[in-house]
Amino acid sequence: MNKVKIGIVGCGGIANQKHLPAMKKNSDLCEVVAFCDIIPERAEKAAKEYGVEGAKVYTDYHDLLANPDVEIVHVLTPNVAHCPITVAAFEAGKHVYCEKPMAHNTADAQKMVDAWKKSGKQFTIGYQNRFRPEVQNLKKACDNGELGDIYYAKGHAVRRRAVPTWGVFPDKSKQGGGPLIDIGTHALDITLWCMNNYDVESVTGSVFYKLGNLPQATEGNAFGPWDPETYEVEDSAMGFIKMKNGAAIMLESAWAINMLESREASTTLCGTLAGAEIHSGMSYPNDELIYNRGRNGQLMEETLSSGGKIAFFEGAAGNAGVVDNRQWLEAVINGTEPLVKPEEALVVTKILEAIYEADRQKKEIRF
């Protein structure tokens, strides 16, 4: 079988922590033939470590897209660059895997969806947390009706102190926001996916800029002190989402907040037949899935436990990023639909933008 040929646009942290190690594990299906970064040394280093012999290195993504050998493009840049690169890649006839979130606003996300539909190529977004075993288990339970009517949920993306101190994370002009758009997007994705509910009625939200510019708040940060002088994004944000069928979702996100429990890429679902909670993040040594229900006249809990944390990607064989990458490659090779659908990722972006807008306008945003 011929291996599909991949070009990487953006050779920073997420490329080296998630995508490139996953491609190395899945080298029976793919080879990386081109690397692009505005910092040439980063592209050259990635090409040396992960590229095929003779892999091309670029500083302009247009040059990479003009390479006829490249079949798939992975867009791994800051959020505001997702749209122009993705649209250009589709226009060049490439398949596209874009990192989450799809875009920093709805208008750009819609442009990406429109370009994808016009291209006839494959498209997916980097919501690899769907591939964790406990999330897969919960999704199957929801699809089988084991929870009944899921009418209330919480998406959890809370870090007590874990502000990223590398890259452009605190730069609002490049990222579009802070923890809400960075890690809140994962919690919202798995919540909506498990509920299989994307019909939004309205969104309200509160966005807080309380700790980011306080020097004393940097104490104890997992990644070392951040620079309060250059910190531009929110440090926490909360949203309330009403669905058209009457269901409601609370979404909490924070890089820094004075709260003991740190739950990240986690969800709580409340159904008429049972409830379920995923516990993951810095407060938990292992990821957990706990079902709760009444049975035989008593309240019962059933627990599924699996090792490993989700926040860091090391390329292990069972790693969610590796599984995500493999199903994406197989979708391209076999012409099947990838698990993460662009239309679903578009709704996530719409909700995130609506939370920011609800806070800015101090009113409910109706869909």
- The C-alpha torsion from 118 through 123 and 125 to 128, rounded to 10°, is 160
Class of domain 4-128: alpha beta
Give pTM, 2 decimals: 0.94
Q: How far apart are CA 356 and CA 234, in angstroms?
A: 10
How deeply is 62 buried, as exposed, middle or buried, from its count of CB atoms within 10 A (0-12, 13-18, 19+)?
exposed
The token duo for 25 is 């594990």
Summarised one tens digit per residue, pLDDT across range 85-138 is 999 999 999 999 999 999 999 999 999 999 999 999 999 999 999 999 999 999
Confidence of residue 188 (pLDDT cuts 50, 70, 90): very high
Amino acid in the structure at residue 109? A
Class of domain 132-323+343-366: alpha beta
| Domain boundaries, given as residue ranges, for the chain | 4-128, 132-323+343-366
Q: What angle do CA 234, 314, 319 make, to 5 degrees?
A: 95
Confidence of residue 186 (pLDDT cuts 50, 70, 90): very high
Paired residues of 6 in beta bridges: 32, 72
**CB within 8 Å of 215: residues ≥ 6 apart:** 228
Summarised one tens digit per residue, pLDDT across range 255-284 is 999 999 999 999 999 999 999 999 999 999
Nearest to 129 by CA among 289, 16, 10, 272: 289
Give the start-end residues of each E strand in 236-354.
Answer: 236-243, 248-254, 266-271, 275-279, 287-295, 298-306
Summarised one tens digit per residue, pLDDT across range 282-332 is 999 989 999 999 999 999 999 975 554 444 444 344 689 999 999 999 999
